Structure 1
Amino acid sequence: MKGSCPIRAGAETRPDALALTFAGRHWTYAEMDTEVGRWVAALRARGVGPGDRVGVLSANHAVLAHLFFALGRVGAVLAPFNARLTPVELRPLVEDVAPRLLLALEPLQARLPDAEPLESFADAVGGPSSECAALDDTSPRVILFTSGTTGRPKGAVITEGNFRASARCSAANLGEHPAPRWLGTLPLFHVGGLAMLTRTAYDGGCLVLRERFAVDDTNRALDAEGITHASFVATTLEQVLEARGDRPVPASFRYSLIGGGPVPAPLLARARAAGLGPLQTYGLTEACSQVATERPDEADGLTAGRALPGLEVRVVGPSGEPLEVGAEGDIEVRGPTVMAGYLNRPEATREALRDGWLRTKDVGRLDARGRLTVLSRRTDLILRGGENIYPAEVEKVLADHPAVREVAVVGVPDARWGEVPVAFVVVRAGSGLPEELGTWCRGSLAGFKVPARFLAIDALPRNALGKVERTVLRERARGA
């Protein structure tokens, strides 16, 4: 199935509607179409065409959005690199991509010495190109590198069909909106950021793009820029609520998607009271962002919700057999959002994709209503004396303690039990490490799940995508 550029479609049907805002500038669909056409002309002048790859090192910026849609019009592929990576980390990624063209924001060019400046790349051309080739659903659009917490990052190949399906499935869950305005604080080198960019274009909405998350700026946008949707993790959601004193957001706001792990129940209650409509969600790069999300009419914060309409989620045992309701096993996903495979990694692709199902390497369970609870990454599972301990389960209990701001639980070797859980705790301002955390856990968890130690830490170490670096914590726990 072929589809045309959603910016061109918007220019034809709603030319005066806003498509993008960034740093005080605004682009209607008609203006965005013209700007994307300039980038098409610039790419063609450099010989970029179907199947070519363009590597980019950039923080959030309007030119990255223009480039993304221009590459679609010429059939080329975007390979965005994480803007926080070092030159040493970037080198193997560039080698994997083998780009026809390499671009970088000027402040980041020192990390990619061979890159040309991104901001001025399209300035040399005259008028815009009208070229706008239709793309097959199978056409590669983006190569997104996984975070690499267990080894060298792999480049997931995300197709045009993946993005279209992701937008369609998300809209089916959230409900129709005549002109959604998503607050874009997630990075465009991340699947969540690109999903927002494409979702707003396919839905005829506007992406209110920000360079990065900043709590005061986020609250100003919520109050004054007509935002209808946003995405948060627990820490950013709490910052927003604390900064605004739980003051309600405007009634025009619809929903906020909450990812990144367990969210304390009191925090979700505060977000609901403030009108932020929090919906917990589970997703991953290889499935083009969302896989499961709470339904607005049944959100209770207890699970990550059901599979999005059009997708399937199942839990399987060691041999790939589907498990019964409530049984714990490996999460698998099937549907039109699942990636084409990993770039230059045929063995890894065969391992990840089996009979149409994406093997996520996450552990979870489904309830009788088909709602998913995510328990752990398979590599994060703690095995204590033959008993499985899922860090997310322990973290959720600890996160509900009033003195705990953030927590991460890891397994460390133990002579008697094989492994024991250790909790790293970030406490709230003015609080010391509570002595009763063990007792607090025993009120909700079996004894073998209670951490053997609770260690205070100023901040959880995170990688370039913001994920907790559990390997760093394991080493620190061994040293302690």
Structure 2
Amino acid sequence: MKESCPIREGAGRHPEALALTFAGWSWTYAELDGGVGRWVAALRSRGVGPGDRVVVLSTNHAALVHLFLALGRLGAVMAPLNARLTPSELRPLAEEVAPRLTLALTPLRSHLPGAEPLESFADAVHEASSECPPLETEAPRVILFTSGTTGRPKGAVLTEGNFRASARCSEANLGAHPAPRWLGTLPLFHVGGLAMLTRTAYDGGCLVLRERFDADDTNRALDAEGVTHASFVATTLERVLDSRRDRPVPPTFRCALIGGGPVPAPLLARAKAAGIVSLQTYGLTETCSQAATEHPGEADGHTAGRALPGLEVRVVGPSGEPLEVGREGDIEVRGPTVMAGYLNRPEATREVLRDGWLRTKDLGRLDERGRLTVLARRTDLILRGGENVYPAEVEKVLADHPAVREVAVVGLPDAHWGEVPVAFVVMREGALSQELFGEWCRERLARFKLPSRFLEIEALPRNAMGKVERTVLRQRARDA
């Protein structure tokens, strides 16, 4: 099956509609179509064609949007690298991609030797190419490297069909909107950021792109720029509410997708009071963003919701057998958003893709309504005296305490129990009290799930993708 460029389609249907805004600039569909055409001509002049790969190092920027869309018209592949990585971390990733061309924002060019300036790459081209052939749904579009918290980063290959299906499935869950305006604060080197870009293009909407997240700026966008959708994690949602002093959002705002793990119940209540419909999600790079998401009419903050329409989520046992409702096991996902595989890693691909099912290596359970509760990465599971302790479950209880800003739970080796849970707590106010938190947890958790210690920490260590570095916390727990 072949698909045409959504910007070219939009330029034909609604040429004057806004497609992109960034840093005080804006592009209609007609203007963006012409701009992408110039990028196509510039790339073509450098020999970039079908199947070629282009490495790019950039924070969010309008030039990155133009590059992504132009590469799609050429049938070429974009490999955006994490702008927060060090040169020594970036080098092996770029080498693995083996690019035809390497681009970087000028302030980042020193991190990638040989990179050409991204923002001025197409400036010398004045004649736009009209080239815009249909693209096969199986054609690779992007190589996104996983965060590497459990080993060497792997390049997930996502196709045109993956992004199309992700947009279609998300719209089926959230409900159609005549012209959605997504606030793009997630980085475009992250699957969540690219999903917002492609979603707005396929849905005929506008990407309100920001270089980075800022709570005050986010509120200005909500209040004055007609933003209808946004994506947050618990900490950024809280900062938005703090910044606006819980003032209600305009009725134009439809909903916020919440990723990154469980959200404290008091925070969800604050968001609801401010008119923010907060939908918890579960997704991976390998599933092109969301795999499961709460439905706007059913959101209660207790689960990550059901599989998106068109996708399947199941929980299986040790031998791969599907488990009944309520049983805890390995989460697997099947559907048109699942990646094609890992770049240059056939063994790793075979390990995670079996009979069309993606083995996520996450643990969870389904309820009677098909809603998914995510419990832990298998590598984060704590085995205490033969009982499974899921960090997410303990973290949710502690996060609901009004004095807690953030929390992470890890396992510590123990001579008697094998492992015991240790909680690292970022306090919102006051001093950490072993007795207070111990009592709070005893009222809400079985005895074997209780943390053996509560350790106060100024901030949770996170990797360049913002994920908690549990290996660092385990070492700190041992040192303590």
What's the TM-score, normalizing by structure 1?
A: 0.99
Alpha-carbon distance in 1 for matches of 2:207, 2:101 = 26
Alpha-carbon distance in 2 for matches of 1:431, 1:164 = 48
Alpha-carbon distance in 2 for matches of 1:49, 1:431 = 59
Q: Which residue number in structure 1 is paired with residue 221 of structure 2?
A: 221
Q: Which residue number in structure 2 is paired with residue 467 of structure 1?
A: 467
1:444 CA drift (Å): 1.0
Any unmatched runs of 5+ in structure 1? none
1:114 CA drift (Å): 1.1
2:77 maps to 1:77: yes
Cα-to-partner distance string for 1:91-112 (whole Å, 9 max, x where unaligned):
1101110000000000001100
Alpha-carbon distance in 2 for matches of 1:156, 1:220 = 35
Instruction: Map 1:7-18 onto structure 2 (within 5 A).
Output: 7-18=7-18
Query: What is the identity, as a one-letter code, of the residue corresponding to 1:125?
Result: V
Q: Which residue number in structure 2 is paired with residue 433 of structure 1?
A: 432
2:459 maps to 1:452: no
Alpha-carbon distance in 1 for matches of 2:469, 2:114 = 30
Any unmatched runs of 5+ in structure 2? none
1:341 CA drift (Å): 0.2
Alpha-carbon distance in 1 for matches of 2:17, 2:173 = 24
Alpha-carbon distance in 2 for matches of 1:76, 1:243 = 42
1:434 CA drift (Å): 3.0
Q: Which residue number in structure 1 is paired with residue 347 of structure 2?
A: 347
1:309 CA drift (Å): 0.3
Alpha-carbon distance in 2 for matches of 1:395, 1:133 = 49
Cα-to-partner distance string for 1:135-173 (whole Å, 9 max, x where unaligned):
111000000000000111000000000000000000000
Q: Which residue number in structure 2 is paired with residue 32 of structure 1?
A: 32
Alpha-carbon distance in 2 for matches of 1:254, 1:54 = 35
Alpha-carbon distance in 1 for matches of 2:105, 2:246 = 37
Cα-to-partner distance string for 1:248-290 (whole Å, 9 max, x where unaligned):
0001110100010010111111111111110111000000000
1:410 CA drift (Å): 0.4
1:242 CA drift (Å): 1.0
Alpha-carbon distance in 1 for matches of 2:121, 2:245 = 44
Query: What is the identity, as a one-letter code, of the residue corresponding to 1:434?
Result: S
Query: What is the identity, as a one-letter code, of the residue corresponding to 1:116?
Result: E
* Helix, strand or coil at the partner of 1:30: helix
Alpha-carbon distance in 1 for matches of 2:417, 2:165 = 46
Alpha-carbon distance in 2 for matches of 1:299, 1:125 = 49
2:177 maps to 1:177: yes
Show structure 1 runs of 4+ deviating over 3 A: none
Alpha-carbon distance in 1 for matches of 2:7, 2:288 = 20
Task: Confirm or deny: 8 A CA contact 1:40 1:129 kept in the other structure.
Answer: yes
2:186 maps to 1:186: yes
* Helix, strand or coil at the partner of 2:47: coil
Task: Confirm or deny: 8 A CA contact 1:332 1:360 kept in the other structure.
Answer: yes
User: RMSD of the alignment, in Å?
Assistant: 0.6
Alpha-carbon distance in 2 for matches of 1:413, 1:223 = 50
* Helix, strand or coil at the partner of 1:464: coil
* Helix, strand or coil at the partner of 2:127: coil
Q: Which residue number in structure 2 is paired with residue 144 of structure 1?
A: 144
Cα-to-partner distance string for 1:200-253 (whole Å, 9 max, x where unaligned):
000000000000001110111111100000000000000111111110000111
Alpha-carbon distance in 2 for matches of 1:464, 1:303 = 27
Alpha-carbon distance in 2 for matches of 1:266, 1:305 = 19
Q: Which residue number in structure 2 is paired with residue 369 of structure 1?
A: 369
* Helix, strand or coil at the partner of 1:84: coil
1:408 CA drift (Å): 0.3
Query: What is the identity, as a one-letter code, of the residue corresponding to 2:24?
Result: G
Cα-to-partner distance string for 1:103-124 (whole Å, 9 max, x where unaligned):
0000001100110010111112
Q: Which residue number in structure 1 is paired with residue 273 of structure 2?
A: 273
Q: Which residue number in structure 2 is paired with residue 45 of structure 1?
A: 45
Query: What is the identity, as a one-letter code, of the residue corresponding to 2:166?
Result: S
Q: Which residue number in structure 2 is paired with residue 320 of structure 1?
A: 320
Query: What is the identity, as a one-letter code, of the residue corresponding to 1:424?
Result: F
Alpha-carbon distance in 2 for matches of 1:197, 1:431 = 41
Query: What is the identity, as a one-letter code, of the residue corresponding to 1:433?
Result: L
Cα-to-partner distance string for 1:433-469 (whole Å, 9 max, x where unaligned):
1331011011111111110010000000000000000
Alpha-carbon distance in 2 for matches of 1:20, 1:434 = 49
Task: Confirm or deny: 8 A CA contact 1:229 1:253 kept in the other structure.
Answer: yes
* Helix, strand or coil at the partner of 1:424: strand
1:355 CA drift (Å): 0.4
Alpha-carbon distance in 1 for matches of 2:443, 2:210 = 42
Task: Confirm or deny: 8 A CA contact 1:138 1:161 kept in the other structure.
Answer: yes
* Helix, strand or coil at the partner of 1:63: helix
Instruction: Map 1:103-182 onto structure 2 (within 5 A).
Output: 103-182=103-182
Query: What is the identity, as a one-letter code, of the residue corresponding to 2:310?
Result: G
Q: Which residue number in structure 1 is paired with residue 61 of structure 2?
A: 61
Q: Which residue number in structure 1 is paired with residue 211 of structure 2?
A: 211
Alpha-carbon distance in 1 for matches of 2:133, 2:50 = 10
Alpha-carbon distance in 2 for matches of 1:355, 1:330 = 16
1:126 CA drift (Å): 2.3
Cα-to-partner distance string for 1:329-379 (whole Å, 9 max, x where unaligned):
000000000000000000000001000000000000000000000000011
1:61 CA drift (Å): 0.2
Task: Confirm or deny: 8 A CA contact 1:403 1:434 kept in the other structure.
Answer: no
Alpha-carbon distance in 2 for matches of 1:362, 1:137 = 28
Alpha-carbon distance in 1 for matches of 2:212, 2:314 = 35
Task: Confirm or deny: 8 A CA contact 1:42 1:125 kept in the other structure.
Answer: yes
* Helix, strand or coil at the partner of 1:281: strand
What's the TM-score, normalizing by structure 2?
A: 0.99
* Helix, strand or coil at the partner of 1:411: strand
Alpha-carbon distance in 1 for matches of 2:125, 2:245 = 49
Alpha-carbon distance in 1 for matches of 2:289, 2:462 = 20
Alpha-carbon distance in 2 for matches of 1:442, 1:139 = 53
Alpha-carbon distance in 2 for matches of 1:68, 1:431 = 47
Q: Identity percentage over the alignment?
A: 82
Q: Which residue number in structure 2 is paired with residue 240 of structure 1?
A: 240
1:178 CA drift (Å): 0.4
